[in-house]
Amino acid sequence: MADLWGGRFENGTDKGAFEFNASIRFDKRLYKEDIEGSLAHVGMLKKTGIIEDSDAEKIIEGLKSIYQDIESGNLIIDDSHEDIHSFVEAELIKRVGDPGKKLHTGRSRNDQVALDMKLYAREAVREIDRNILELQKVLFELMEANLGTYMPGFTHLQKAQPVTLAHHLGAYFEMLMRDRGRLRDLKSRMDSCPLGSGALAGTTFALDRQMTARDLHFTLGPTRNSMDSVSDRDYLLELMGALSIIMMHLSRFSEEIIIWNSNEYGFVDIDDGFSTGSSIMPQKKNPDIAELVRGKTGRVYGDLISLLTTMKGIPLAYDKDMQEDKEAAFDAIDTVSDCLKLFAGMMSTIRFNKAVMERSARRGFTNATDAADYLVEKGVPFRDAHRIIGSLVLKCEKEGKTLDELGLDEWRKESDRFESDIYDAISMEACVERRQTIGAPGMKPMREVMEYYRKYLKEPA
């Protein structure tokens, strides 16, 4: 530590204070971004003549060798340094000598770490977007295979109206589309480069910040306010907010899979590879992956709340509190990435019990609305039709029947408008196929939306 900033200190740092202050235990994962940013910085220092060409070349060679050695495992990042920035710089000086001491010219750890986190978050957005896309591809294949698989749709966890499995899965496909849209949106706001902002007030050196931003592929160029540049963590908060919504969607999906997997429903069989058993009950096959995804949602929410709470009282510009951004952000990114991958694997191997699902729809009176619509088409006012079908449902419940198990005479006792074609009108196929509006589960609108999804999946990420 003293090698970087100890000039005005007479005594060394307390060991406990050093360990409490140090971040290398978790920020060492930023080594790639730290070296990438340093290479861009020294390249700019060379071009602008701020440091000599010969020194710049030695620094560049040294940084590249450090990266290669870390990647190969020949160089281990230990905890004797305060952070990844001091580790890389100390290792560089060890390798190239005095020229390495010039790397930090015109730069502070404040703008350095701001850059590293932006680079890391930018790549995390790309990776999570790819993971969502892979899950969407799995869902699309399931939808294609189940356009004619009938099942009950629910409101209030009560059977409501018949839909298809394709239509039900399509709701989650849409949620994931919005998730990807949020990631693209926040990526556009994190696309400016903070490097060159210094500690908070820029620098007296004639840096070419446009060059640095361009070399690091920031399309919006350099940030416009040096104080905001080093203290901004909005992009992490936005990312963690988007990750929280992704987890909320996965949690809702997990909840349904867990319910469907229960003996009472029996809609799905989860593959052995994504289930576990019981240490005492030999018959058990538990949906642990779905349950863990549901459980880890709260963890990601906690990461977001943690950083929001940290940031709420910090005055401009940089304060050490902001070191707390990393563990929360890393944890949220890792958790969501793992959940997306495992969820895609679970869904790609899951088996749907189609006959059970259709039987459940029939026995749940999901065709009652269509029976009421049948009467309306025969000239009965809807409110009267609603009452008539309600009475028939009550009768069926008492007798343990479904509507399609009623005899025609039983129908006609309630209304003489019923004819033998009532049975065709309340079949699962008819109930679904009569719904032809945009967004409905009928075959025609579903094929149209599937074509839209097919084109969407082929678009460049």
Which of the residues are catalytic? 156, 278
Half-sphere exposure of 252 (CA within 13 A, CB side): 13
**C-beta separation of 190 from 217 below 8 A:** no
In which element (H, E) is residue 155 found?
Answer: strand 150-155
Name every residue whose Cβ is closer than 8 Å to that of residue 240 and which is 6 or more positions away in sequence.
Answer: 300, 303, 304, 307, 328, 329, 332
**Distance (Å, whole) CA 106 – CA 198:** 7
**C-beta separation of 402 from 362 below 8 A:** yes
Radius of gyration of the chain (CA): 30
Say which residue the tokens 């009928």 belong to. Answer: 442
**Distance (Å, whole) CA 314 – CA 237:** 15
**C-beta separation of 138 from 348 below 8 A:** yes
Copy the structure tokens of residue 130: 């790819």
**Distance (Å, whole) CA 238 – CA 94:** 39
Question: What torsion do the CA atoms of 199, 203, 207, 208 make, to the nearest 10 degrees?
Answer: 70
Q: Are strands 158-164 and 268-269 parallel, antiparallel or unpaired?
A: unpaired
In terms of phi and psi (left: phi > 0; alpha: psi -120 to 50; beta: otherwise), the region of 439 is left
**Distance (Å, whole) CA 44 – CA 212:** 6
Copy the structure tokens of residue 135: 């899950």
**C-beta separation of 268 from 352 below 8 A:** yes
**C-beta separation of 212 from 44 below 8 A:** yes
- Look up residue 28 and give its DSSP letter: G
Name every residue whose Cβ is closer than 8 Å to that of residue 163 and which is 6 or more positions away in sequence.
Answer: 150, 151, 152, 153, 432, 441
| Residue 34, number of CB atoms within 10 A of its CB | 26
